[in-house]
Amino acid sequence: MDTLKDKVALITGGASGIGRATALLFAQEGAAVSIVDIDEALGASAVEEVAAAGGRAVFVLCDVAKADDCRRAVETTVAAFGGLDILFNNAGVIRRADVLATTEAEWDRVMEVNVKSIFLMSKQAIPHLAERGGGVIINTSSGWGLKGGADAVAYCAAKGAVVNMTRAMAIDHGKQNIRVNAVCPGDTDTPMLRDEARQLGRPEEVFLAEAASRPLGRCAQPVEIAHAVLYLAGEMSAYVTGTTLVVDGGGLA
């Protein structure tokens, strides 16, 4: 299909999990994809996977918490593909702990990667989106951006900030024909979810089984979240901005 034909997308956290699934799906839908990540080996393999499927992709090594890295990521993308139409701010980290057990450094890193990165990357991308006559920004929040969760205070705070930041950006940049929305996944079978089990000292399979306790009775697969992101990126959502799309198998319900 050609839902994103001739579009250029930049995806942070694009080397694994939801980001990687979205990069592959976007490429299959006709977009050129810039895969931005801190993991060089996984990023290179993601580019190879996109190429094997007939798509176009580049990898940019980037710490999304650093302004210079974000500037270089956007500039490299524009130089490679001639512009930018879609920014998917998907990079994220989690620390499973309450206030007492969370260190200041851990708090700062969760906020930098999950929130500050959206500010830094959007600041660089918005002029290029506007230059194309408009574009799309999609931010990854979480079900825990809309409700609280146990032993994840920094993550919950960060993802709540993403939801309201998305609304503010939609208001500010609608006049430039830039739509800004957030996707709120529930538990998704990614390396980050499995890392949560390790942080909590829980067996992976037990943890995943508990995470599947929701109306649909299972965790999401990354591609299922990617399909929601595709909807927000394409013309089928042309009048959708400033909203949060919950994709969680009924968990919040």
The model's pLDDT over 111-122, given as tens digits with 9 standing for 90+, comes to: 999 999 999 999
- pTM reported for the whole predicted model: 0.96
Q: Look at residue 82 in the predicted model and tell me its pLDDT.
A: 98
- The answer to the question of residue 50 being in a domain is yes
Looking up residue 155, the CATH number of its domain turns out to be 3.40.50.720
Q: Which amino acid is at 18?
A: I
Q: Which amino acid is at 130?
A: A
Q: Which residues contact 165 (CB under 8 A, 6 or more apart)?
A: 115, 118, 119, 139
Share of the chain above pLDDT 90, in %: 95
- Which one, of 138, 134, 142, lies nearest residue 180 by Cα? 138
Tokens 């959502």 locate to: 237
- The answer to the question of residue 2 being in a domain is no
Q: Look at residue 2 in the predicted model and tell me its pLDDT.
A: 86
Q: Look at residue 1 in the predicted model and tell me its pLDDT.
A: 66
Q: Look at residue 177 in the predicted model and tell me its pLDDT.
A: 98
CA atoms within 13 A on the CB side of 178: 27
Please state the domain count of the chain. Answer: 1
Identify the domain containing residue 70 by its residue range: 8-187+221-247
- Order of strands across the sheet with 244-247? 56-61, 32-37, 8-12, 86-89, 135-140, 178-185, 244-247
Ranges of the chain with pLDDT below 50 = none
Instruction: Note the pLDDT tens digit of each residue in 204-229.
Output: 889 999 999 999 999 999 999 999 99
What letter would DSSP give residue 115? I
Active site residues: 155
- The answer to the question of residue 46 being in a domain is yes
- The answer to the question of residue 91 being in a domain is yes
